[in-house]
Structure 1
Amino acid sequence: MKVGFIGLGNVGGKLSGSLLRNGINLTVLDLNPDLVAEFVAQGAQTVGSPAELMRTCDAVITCLPSPAASDAVMQDMLPEVTTGKIWMEMSTTDEAEVRRLGAQVIDAGGAAVDCPVSGGCHRAATGNISIFAGCDRATFDRIAPLLKTMGRRILHTGELGSASVLKVVTNYLATANLVTCCEALVTAKAAGMDLNTTYEALKMSSGTSFVHETESQVILNGSRDISFTMDLVKKDVGLFQEVAERNNVPLEISPMLCKIFDDGIAKYGERCFSPNIIKRLEDATGLDIRAPGFPPELQDDEPEEPGYEVIPNGPTAAKL
């Protein structure tokens, strides 16, 4: 299968890198010519436009920063969608929008999948990230080899759009956990606790989480670098809020998180790394939430392994 990939940013560059590293026939596009040149130097091909990419590839993957960006790319590609073509949307996007664009692809004879990822850029780099996939089963079976090349745990979530709902749900939870981890670390420091000891206590307790075990490390290092920025958090929590509002769910914490990140963006800038949301509390208390021995960036220490499908049948879920 010849694969096109549009969007070589923090996540897309790593996902497409896994495809290229594992021998997939890959053609890439990005607004940044330097990123494209890096991939071409490693053996990828490139073309002049999204339309040409769709015309010359069997499947085209998009991994873009906003629903508007995905729409602009799709409008260029749509005239080239024919029977058998596949559009794979790996962006974090609005489920209503992916269904709208996917319907246009399906009407033109193609297939559409929303397949966002979860687990952090460090796992995207090694091919060990988790991937949700929303589409009909026949399409899932066609793209499963690609998904298993880019990720380790692959979950078929149901119809088109279902993966995007679950993606913003998981990002909402990660954001809520980030904010509470920040509050916990600052409160522990204010109470006179050693932060290295605090990190280990949280890690070995009922209060631990993926966010604590990963993002708390770069918070304590002081780099706060997880290759994810405050504007993206605001977008993702906003998408979650929209899902809740469409379904008449009266949320309380989600609007508060939106306000917290609005304040963080106003103070530190929208491109500030998202764990720097802790600076609001550092500034308010005068405390420095850093400790020795933590890394400046997250690294996935698990070896790259072939992906597998997770079957949702409870806590003892099987894998294929």
Structure 2
Amino acid sequence: MRVGFIGLGNVGGKLAGSLLRNGLEVMVLDLNPLLMESFAARGARRGQSPKELAESCDVVITCLPSPTACAAVVEGPDGILEGIGPGRIWAEMSTTDAGEVRRLAGLVVARGAEAIECPVSGGCHRAATGNISIFAGCPRETFERMLPLLTVLGRRVLHTGEIGTASVLKVVTNYLATANLVSLVEALTTCKAAGMDLGTAYEAIRISSGNSFVHETESQVILNGSRDISFTMDLVAKDIGLFQKIADDHQVPLEVSPLLNRIFADGIDRYGPRELSPNIIKRLEDATGLDIRAPGFPDEMVDEEPEEAGYEVTPRSGDDMKLNRREAAGG
């Protein structure tokens, strides 16, 4: 299978790297020529346009920073729509608007091709090792065709339903991660103000009912001081804005979400859109004069899980919910 990959940023570059690491034939495209050069040095072919990738590859993946960028790549001049046709698949791995991905998928299907949205969740450190989780929205037939490739890109793969469902769930999970980040920022700052040792506070949260994935990852780089999770405030603002839009569209009167949107809008005003997202803690550091750092924590996250073959996660109802492992090759 030949795979085209458009968008070699923080997440996309790591996902494309998993394809190369596992021996797939990959053609890449990015606005940054240095990124393309680095992939060419690792064995990838350099593409010239989205149209070329759609014509040359069995699957063309997009992993881009915004719905606007994705629309330009799909339906713009020399875009995917000009090259895609029967037997090909467009796979959208960005975090995007559910209505927009449905619209673009409809255009792809009208050309006789198939479409799948498959955003990822779990952090850049897991994208790098192929251990990230993937939500897949598409017809079941398309999912079955894509599952062998998805289980190279990620560890846990969930078929969420039709096109649009994965985007909704991805935005929901990013909203929850943001809410957790902001609450941890407040908790760590309050611990420091109360005279607590922050290393001890970290462990207390980790072994308690207050623990979470966000605490075990982002709290560590907050306390190190690097605050580097390869994710920026503008991307957080995009994601939680998409969540708020879903709620608004369905007349859900939220209270926490509008506050989170205001907090990150203020963070962007103060520190700039490309500031690392955990540095939202600087708002409280500035307000209190406290330095929320502690020795012994890493400056970046590294996935300690060994890379393993992915599998489909099958939801069950009620108390019977469990993971059903399906190896991509066998079922």
Q: Tell me the TM-score normalised to structure 1 length.
A: 0.99
Contact 2:88 2:114 in 1 (8 A): yes
CA distance in 2, matches of 1:19, 1:282: 41
Instruction: State whether structure 2 residue 291 is matched by structure 1 residue 288.
Output: yes
1:228 — aligned with what? 231
1:181 — aligned with what? 184
Contact 2:244 2:258 in 1 (8 A): yes
- Counterparts in 2 of 1:65-80, with a 5 A limit? 65-75=65-75, 76-80=79-83
1:316 — aligned with what? 322
CA distance in 2, matches of 1:101, 1:245: 22
Output the amino acid matched with 1:8: L
Q: Secondary structure at the match of 1:282?
A: helix
Q: CA-to-partner distance for each residue in 1:173-220, whole Å, 9 max, x for gaps?
A: 000000000000001111111000000000000000000011000000
Q: Secondary structure at the match of 2:128?
A: helix
2:87 — aligned with what? 84
Which of 209, 213, 218 is the equivalent residue of 2:212? 209
1:45 — aligned with what? 45
CA distance in 2, matches of 1:180, 1:263: 16
Q: Secondary structure at the match of 2:115?
A: strand
Contact 2:131 2:156 in 1 (8 A): yes
Shift of 1:81: 1.7
Q: Give the fraction of aligned pairs with identical amino acids, expressed as a percent.
A: 68
Q: Secondary structure at the match of 2:230?
A: coil
- Counterparts in 2 of 1:83-122, with a 5 A limit? 83-122=86-125
Output the amino acid matched with 1:27: M
Shift of 1:317: 2.8
Instruction: State whether structure 2 residue 134 is matched by structure 1 residue 134.
Output: no
CA distance in 2, matches of 1:276, 1:32: 26
2:275 — aligned with what? 272
Q: Secondary structure at the match of 1:4?
A: strand
Shift of 1:46: 1.4
Output the amino acid matched with 2:73: V
Shift of 1:85: 1.1
CA distance in 2, matches of 1:82, 1:278: 48
Shift of 1:47: 1.8
Shift of 1:164: 0.4
Q: CA-to-partner distance for each residue in 1:27-48, whole Å, 9 max, x for gaps?
A: 0000000100111111111121
Q: CA-to-partner distance for each residue in 1:286-313, whole Å, 9 max, x for gaps?
A: 1100000000000001111000000001
Output the amino acid matched with 2:15: L
CA distance in 2, matches of 1:6, 1:81: 14
Q: Secondary structure at the match of 2:223?
A: helix
Q: Secondary structure at the match of 2:4?
A: strand
Instruction: State whether structure 2 residue 25 is matched by structure 1 residue 33.
Output: no
Shift of 1:316: 2.1
Structure 2 unmatched ranges of 5 or more: 327-331
Shift of 1:254: 0.6
Output the amino acid matched with 1:116: P
Output the amino acid matched with 1:44: A
CA distance in 2, matches of 1:152, 1:316: 16
Contact 2:314 2:322 in 1 (8 A): no
Instruction: State whether structure 2 residue 221 is matched by structure 1 residue 218.
Output: yes
Output the amino acid matched with 2:32: N
Q: Secondary structure at the match of 2:260?
A: helix
Structure 1 unmatched ranges of 5 or more: none
Count of residues in correspondence between the two structures? 320
Shift of 1:247: 1.2
Output the amino acid matched with 2:189: V
Output the amino acid matched with 1:313: R
CA distance in 2, matches of 1:281, 1:204: 25
2:7 — aligned with what? 7
Instruction: State whether structure 2 residue 202 is matched by structure 1 residue 196.
Output: no
Q: CA-to-partner distance for each residue in 1:121-168, whole Å, 9 max, x for gaps?
A: 000000000000000011001111110001000000000111000000
Instruction: State whether structure 2 residue 246 is matched by structure 1 residue 243.
Output: yes
1:160 — aligned with what? 163
1:124 — aligned with what? 127
CA distance in 2, matches of 1:191, 1:140: 51
CA distance in 1, matches of 2:198, 2:82: 57
Quote the RMSD (CA, aligned, Å).
0.7
CA distance in 1, matches of 2:167, 2:15: 17
Output the amino acid matched with 1:201: A
